[in-house]
Structure 1
């Protein structure tokens, strides 16, 4: 498995990976209509993001097939994990941890010291994943996904170096 920086040519593969991951992870949390056609709605967004990345976007690829991706945005000493997705068939094998460790290590090198992310309330697998790595769960907050109201949990990592070590 090759871990590398994502580029503009990866937009379609990232949109496809995210759509498959969302259909699998959020089937019980979001309406089917929102999950249908997700790839086509994500493609223009990722084309724009990859044209001028606001942070670090890493992909895991093997034989030309994308198996996972991590995207985080940098804001001074803070890193915001926007996306961490592994293809449904590849979950549970450590790829998510490896991607997270690589992306966060780059963030540390860029001066980040803390990290946060948001998870849809009820996404218990993701919450367990991040809390096992030292994430601290904050209070629920109102949010929305494509106009659909959801409850979100913000997770905080006060020491990014400790997160990198835990993920490795």
Structure 2
């Protein structure tokens, strides 16, 4: 079940986000950052619901995944994370489609995100969904050397259409 996130979801979102970063970025980002630094950053990030669209996917009472999109045109896909037990079942594309359907209803037509260089699995995933690299350079989010890659959807309507499909 995919639904709008509530403040009660924030601790589980922060925990999944941290676990996902520690798994995905092991070897890509410094280990000391993935320890206490990332934990503090994500705890602060998820202290309140962000502006925009944040959806959660639940399997029973467990958080299976979440997506957070900051609206603008283009919209910024800030976070998409799927719990290990729910990976590989198509939940990621369903969350993107549901979030993009909500922002499209507000007149948004395009979206983008940043990934850490070396996160090849994420890059393949987003490219399969039509995103294209438009920029690469120093990642301003970190105070250590890291390269960010910007991926853009110039037209989100094909993904919005996925949300409407039976």
Please report how far the alpha carbon of residue 24 of structure 1 lies from its aligned counterpart in structure 2 after TM superposition. Answer: 1.1
In structure 2, the residue matched to 1:71 is 68
Contact 2:94–2:162 (CA under 8 A) maintained in structure 1: no
**CA separation in 2, counterparts of 1:14 and 1:27?**
20
* Partner-residue secondary structure (3-state), 2:14: helix
Gaps of 5+ in 1: none
* Structure 1 residue 34 displacement after superposition: 1.2
- Residue aligned with 1:130, SS: helix
How far 1:90 sits from its partner (Å)?
2.1
Q: Which runs of 5+ in 2 are unaligned?
A: none
| Cα distance in 2 for residues equivalent to 1:46 and 1:165 | 30
Q: How far 1:113 sits from its partner (Å)? A: 0.4
Q: Which residue of 2 aligns with 1:103?
A: 99
Task: Quote how far apart the aligned CAs of 1:63 are.
Answer: 2.1
Q: Given that residues 157 and 163 in structure 1 are in contact (C-alpha distance below 8 angstroms), is that contact kept between their aligned partners in structure 2?
A: no
Q: Which residue of 2 aligns with 1:20?
A: 19
CA deviations 1:93-145 (Å, max 9, x no partner) are 11111111100110101110000100111100000011111111123111144
| TM-score, normalisation: structure 2 | 0.91
What corresponds to 2:45 in structure 1? 45
2:154 aligns to what?
158
Structure 1 segments of 4+ aligned residues over 4 angstroms from their partners: none
In the TM superposition, what is the alpha-carbon distance from 1:164 to its structure 2 partner?
2.7
Count how many residue pairs are aligned between Structure 1 and Structure 2.
163
Q: Distance in 2 between matches of 1:3 and 1:45?
A: 21
Q: Is the 8 A contact 1:133 1:166 kept in 2?
A: no
Match of 2:46, SS?
A: helix
Aligned partner of 1:143 among 139, 142, 148 = 139
What is the aligned partner in structure 1 of residue 59 from structure 2?
62
**Counterparts of 2:117 and 2:149 in 1: how far apart (Å)?**
6
Contact 2:74 2:110 in 1 (8 A): yes
- In structure 2, do the counterparts of structure 1 residues 165 and 148 end up closer, same or farther at CA, with 3 Å as the change threshold? farther
